């Protein structure tokens, strides 16, 4: 598992016939207060856990799992991971937390057709994604994650409760699926998505100074050109309503 900085480890998604989200482990290893950002696709729990162990990180140091959002490619293997680190808390934005606690899985699958496909493919039953959430985030918080400070930014549009995590001193942004490398952005046609909201969220992120972009899929970028997010937002603006 590649180390991005002293306080950020990267676990690449293991895409097969469906995408598996990247996961990140945040926090100074010496703090023993680490956070796993996102889980991944159904069936990828062992891969993610083994990647953490291979990096020499004690599972007991993982204190929480923070979700950038709750699409299946991010939350699919959450229950598998929770089985191996049952002490870890679950944190996510309130809007998606409230849905999951009520057993509302519309955000997880995004669309009915996909739900049918996944239930068949993975043998998932209704209720598979009912979780108790320990901390509901709103955006605007600054989290102390293992002796590093990360700002929570609510960036809806790809999903209603998407959050970004921003480490201001090192200019690191974890935007979930809101913006990727190669001027790509997250899709905005799924349940809870909204083009104009996504435009606002991109403009919000464009105000940040970002050197390292760690998205949910595809390449990570360690030397992001200045103005990259603004340029991406402008390119997509005509499609976002
Ligand atoms: Zn997504
Ligand atoms: Zn994704």
43-78 per-position pLDDT tens digit: 999 999 999 999 999 999 999 999 999 999 999 999
What is the number of alpha carbons within 13 Å of residue 111 lying toward its C-beta?
8
- Per-residue model confidence as pLDDT tens digits over 195-235: 999 999 999 999 999 999 999 999 999 999 999 999 999 99
Confidence of residue 166 (pLDDT cuts 50, 70, 90): very high
**pLDDT of 6 higher than 80:** yes
31: CA distance to ligand 1 center in Å?
30
145: CA distance to ligand 1 center in Å?
23
30: CA distance to ligand 1 center in Å?
32
pLDDT for 239: 96
- Per-residue model confidence as pLDDT tens digits over 77-98: 999 999 999 999 999 999 999 9
pLDDT for 162: 98
Q: Beta-strand (E) ranges in the chain?
A: 3-5, 8-11, 23-26, 34-37, 62-66, 89-93, 135-137, 142-144, 149-154, 163-167, 172-174, 212-213
Q: Which 8-state DSSP code applies to residue 60?
A: G
Query: How many whole angstroms separate alpha carbon 30 and alpha carbon 32?
Result: 6
Give percent above pLDDT 70 in the chain: 100
Q: Which ligand is nearest to the CA of 21?
A: 2
**pLDDT of 1 higher than 80:** no
What's the whole-number mean pLDDT along residues 158-170? 98
Residue 211: burial class (beta carbons within 10 Å; 0-12, 13-18, 19+): middle
Q: What residue has token string 């679950």?
A: 90
- Per-residue model confidence as pLDDT tens digits over 107-151: 999 999 999 999 999 999 999 999 999 999 999 999 999 999 999
72: CA distance to ligand 1 center in Å?
8
196 CB neighbour count, 10 Å cutoff: 11
Query: 232 or 4: which carries more pLDDT confidence?
Result: 232
Query: How many whole angstroms separate alpha carbon 35 and alpha carbon 145?
Result: 7
216: CA distance to ligand 2 center in Å?
6
61: CA distance to ligand 2 center in Å?
26
230: CA distance to ligand 1 center in Å?
21
Q: Which ligand is nearest to the CA of 15?
A: 2
pLDDT for 146: 97
What's the whole-number mean pLDDT along residues 6-24? 96
71: CA distance to ligand 2 center in Å?
6
Q: Which 8-state DSSP code applies to residue 131?
A: -
pLDDT for 2: 82
Query: How many whole angstroms separate alpha carbon 117 and alpha carbon 32?
Result: 40
What's the whole-number mean pLDDT along residues 22-41? 97
71: CA distance to ligand 1 center in Å?
5
């Amino acid at each position: 598992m590649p180390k991005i900085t002293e306080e950020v480890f990267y676990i690449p998604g293991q895409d097969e016939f469906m995408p598996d989200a990247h996961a990140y482990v945040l926090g100074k290893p010496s703090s023993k207060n680490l956070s796993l950002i996102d889980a991944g696709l159904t069936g990828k729990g062992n891969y993610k856990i083994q990647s953490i162990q291979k990096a020499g990180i004690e599972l007991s140091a993982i204190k929480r799992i923070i979700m950038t959002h709750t699409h299946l490619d991010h939350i699919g293997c959450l229950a598998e991971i929770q089985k191996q680190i049952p002490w870890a808390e679950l944190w996510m934005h309130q809007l998606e937390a409230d849905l999951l606690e009520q057993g509302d899985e519309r955000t997880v699958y995004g669309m009915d057709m996909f739900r049918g496909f996944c239930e068949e493919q993975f043998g998932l039953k209704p209720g598979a994604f009912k979780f108790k959430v320990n901390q509901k985030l709103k955006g605007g918080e600054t989290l102390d994650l293992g002796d590093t400070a990360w700002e929570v930014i609510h960036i809806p549009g790809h999903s209603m409760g998407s959050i970004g995590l921003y480490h201001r001193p090192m200019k690191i942004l974890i935007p979930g699926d809101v913006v990727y490398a190669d001027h790509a952005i997250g899709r905005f046609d799924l349940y809870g998505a909204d083009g104009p909201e996504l435009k606002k969220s991109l403009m919000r992120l464009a105000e940040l100074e970002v050197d390292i972009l760690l998205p949910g899929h595809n390449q990570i970028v360690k030397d992001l050109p200045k103005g990259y997010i603004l340029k991406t937002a402008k390119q997509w603006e005509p499609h976002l309503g």
